Each structure stands twice: as structure tokens, then as C-alpha cells.
A = this chain, B = another copy of it.
Amino acid sequence: VPAQRLWPETVVAFPALCEQVSAILGAWGMSQNDVAVTTQHLLYADLHGIDSHGCGMLRHYHRGRQIGALRMDAQVTVVRDDGASLLLDGGGGLGHVPSARAMALAIERARNLGIAAVSVRHSGHFGAAGTYVAMAADAGMIGMATTNTGRPALVPTFGREAALGTNPIAFAAPTAHQPPFLLDMATTTVPVGRVMTAWRRGEVIPSGWALDERGDPVTDPGQGVRLRRLTPLGGSRSLGGHKGYGLATMVEILSAILPGLDRDVPKSHAAWRVGHFFLVINPARFRSEGVFQQDLDDLIDRLRSTTPLQASQPVQVAGDPERQAQRTRQMTGIPLPRSVLEDIRYVSREAGVPYLLESP
């Protein structure tokens, strides 16, 4: 498909998008409660400008369901509960429901015990990791979330081929007057979706995002998507790429090795199965009530008042770009490229629900 066919974008109202996604998930046989939780956490990404992790995933989920790799009636179970540490089983469905449950459990336990970790096995794509750590910050807690990702995309330092996923890390901490600190990052230089967006827009990608079979930089985004060989954060060895690779391995250990891999999954389903890790720390167990939040406000103030290189571009703090997107999109709607709208139209038709996003 030539890139220009997928562009420009159409702006869709957020409530309509919620309704459309809920209708599809309901028609797929998801329980009413799971539809609500999945829609909320899936569309967090669209609302916050993380376009690669939101409703653009629906066609992919549809395919997973078709081949029997994703159950829509998955039951989340508690495999083991030791108070401050729990292991959940996602039941082979999408990751949003088990992840929201895991984070809620971690928050509840950390409130009483100071810290808690919940690990989830046998789960699926959970959307943007930031949506779960935001739950922790909203509850006055420090939160961390990691997930492994199914298809290899990260080329280890000195390697020729991809061996790990884009394995994101999210971290949030509560504040008093500032918006929460919220870091949500792939451990590759950019996520796969960022290369796809460049392709869709007909842009060239910067040297350093993606590699070819000889380890040379790729600047054609189409080739970048096709080869799927992303650099770890840092890029080359001399600029610290081994650190991004190390962080991606840490995420693999916490998200896949700690809860346990699915060993008896058919090969065609393996890329759909992932695990997650959630950690919550209660700052009130370390500092007097509210003091952590005030000190974090001060740190954020100090960072924002760092002298900028250009007066027009002040220093930001993790979470700022997502909040800016949220403010705009909540008012004006979500810009969706043609390809995503066509995917949603197709998935709606297949699910037997009306397509609500554009007039015929």
C-alpha cells in the first residue's frame, strides 16, 4: 500500500471511539466488566498520543482471536498469594484485565506492607505500560510496570538479528501540586510503531533507529518495518547501546522468567503470549505523610527551571508530552490515520457490530 493512501488522518470523538471499541469487544464475547476495563486501558494510549498501542491494535487482536491464540473469555486466577508477592495467571487473553487487577492488588498490598510485587504469566498485549503506573500514582504510590513483547525487534549489541522485544518500562510517582512523574519507554531507541508512523507519513527515519542485515543504519521506514531490527536505547556500543540491551534483558527477566514462560503453547501462538511485572512502593512507609510528594514537586520544579538551550523549548519532565496530547485530544478528538479506520471498519463488520466512526 503506498504511504499516501494511509494519510491524512480523520479526527474521531473520544466517546465514539470508546463506544466502538466496547461494541467490538462485547461482540467478541468478553464479559461486560472486562469490556469496560479493556476499553479504558486500551484507549489510554490513543488519548495520550501513544498511537502505536491503542485502537490500532484491534485488527491484530482480531487475528489472535481468529487463530485461537487469544481467548476473550479468559479468567484471571491467583496462582500464589504470599501477601507482598503474588503470581497471577492471565488465562490466555488480552493483558489489560489481568494487568489492571495485578496493579490494583499491588496497590492494596503496598498500602499495608510498604511494598508489593505482582507478576502475571500466560497473558497478552496490555497496551501502554503507562496506564498501570498511573493507577499507582493516582493512589499516592510509586509504581513500576514492565512487560515482555512477543515478536523480537531489538538487536543485541554485536548481534546481527533481533533477539528480544521492545520490552518497555514504565515508572510513576505521586506529587502534591505537579502532575505525577510518569515515564513510559520502550528499551529500544524507538518502538516499532514509531517506525510505522514515519512510513505512513512518508518520512525518512533518523540514522540510529533501525538496522539492516549488515548492521548498517536504515533510513527508509518501510525497510525498517519489514526488517524489524531496532537498535537498543543508546544505539551503537560506543554510545551505550549495551545499556538499552541490558535494560531490555532485565525487563525480560522480570516479565517472562519471573512469572514463567508458557512452554506448551503451539508455535503459532507463542508470539501472542507474554508476561508482566508490577511493583508498588508506598512512600508513606518511608516519609511522613505528604512529604515525599512535596519533595518530588520541588525536584520537578527544579528540572523544569533548568536553563534551556532555546527559550522556545523549555526542559520537560517525563509524562509532559503525554499530558499535552491528552489535553488536546480530550477536547478535539483522536486523529486516526486511514489505515486504522479501515482496520476498525473491517473488524466491526467481522464482529457484526455497526461502524460508528464515520458517516457512510
Complex interface: stretch among A38-46, A51-59, A247-255: A247-255
A window 222-250: CB within 8 A of B: 233-235, 238-240, 242-247, 249-250
Contact of A158 with B253 in the complex, beta carbons under 8 Å: no
**How far is the CB of A288 from the nearest CB of chain B, in Å?**
9
The complex places the Cα of A54 from the Cα of B286 at a distance, in Å, of 30
On whether A142 and B292 interact (CB within 8 A), knowing A240-B233, A258-B281, A306-B161, the answer reads no
On whether A261 and B295 interact (CB within 8 A), knowing A235-B239, A285-B82, the answer reads yes
Whether A70 is near chain B, meaning CB under 8 Å from some CB there, is no
Counting from the closest, the 3 A-B pairs by CB-CB distance are A85-B114, A183-B246, A246-B318
Chain A 286-318 interface 0/1 with B at a Cβ cutoff of 8 Å (1 = within): 110001100110010011001111100111111
Contact of B314 with A158 in the complex, beta carbons under 8 Å: yes
Residues of B within 8 A of A85 (CB): 113-115, 281-282, 285-286
Residues of B within 8 A of A242 (CB): 316, 318
Contact of B83 with A308 in the complex, beta carbons under 8 Å: no
Whether A136 is near chain B, meaning CB under 8 Å from some CB there, is no
Residues of B within 8 A of A214 (CB): 309
Chain A residues with CB under 8 Å of chain B are 80, 82-85, 87, 113-117, 119, 142, 156-161, 163-164, 171, 173, 181, 183, 185, 189-190, 206, 208-209, 214-215, 233-235, 238-240, 242-247, 249-250, 252-254, 256-261, 279, 281-283, 285-287, 291-292, 295-296, 299, 302-303, 306-310, 313-318
Contact of A239 with B115 in the complex, beta carbons under 8 Å: no
25 A-B residue pairs with Cβ-Cβ distance under 8 Å, sorted by A, are: A84-B84, A85-B114, A85-B282, A87-B286, A142-B254, A156-B315, A161-B307, A181-B253, A183-B243, A183-B247, A190-B240, A209-B239, A234-B244, A235-B239, A240-B244, A245-B318, A249-B303, A249-B318, A252-B299, A258-B283, A258-B286, A258-B287, A260-B286, A260-B287, A260-B295
Look across to chain B and name the residue whose beta carbon is closest to the beta carbon of A292. B257
Contact of B306 with A159 in the complex, beta carbons under 8 Å: yes
Question: CB < 8 Å: which of B82, B246, B258 contacts A185?
Answer: B246
On whether A80 and B190 interact (CB within 8 A), knowing A257-B292, A295-B261, A303-B156, the answer reads no
Contact of A163 with B250 in the complex, beta carbons under 8 Å: no
The complex places the Cα of A253 from the Cα of B242 at a distance, in Å, of 24
Contact of A292 with B183 in the complex, beta carbons under 8 Å: no
The complex places the Cα of A114 from the Cα of B86 at a distance, in Å, of 9
**How far is the CB of A113 from the nearest CB of chain B, in Å?**
5
Residues of B within 8 A of A163 (CB): 302-303, 306, 315
Look across to chain B and name the residue whose beta carbon is closest to the beta carbon of A261. B295
The complex places the Cα of A292 from the Cα of B240 at a distance, in Å, of 28
On whether A233 and B244 interact (CB within 8 A), knowing A258-B142, A286-B258, the answer reads yes
Contact of B114 with A114 in the complex, beta carbons under 8 Å: no
On whether A243 and B185 interact (CB within 8 A), knowing A286-B80, A286-B85, the answer reads yes
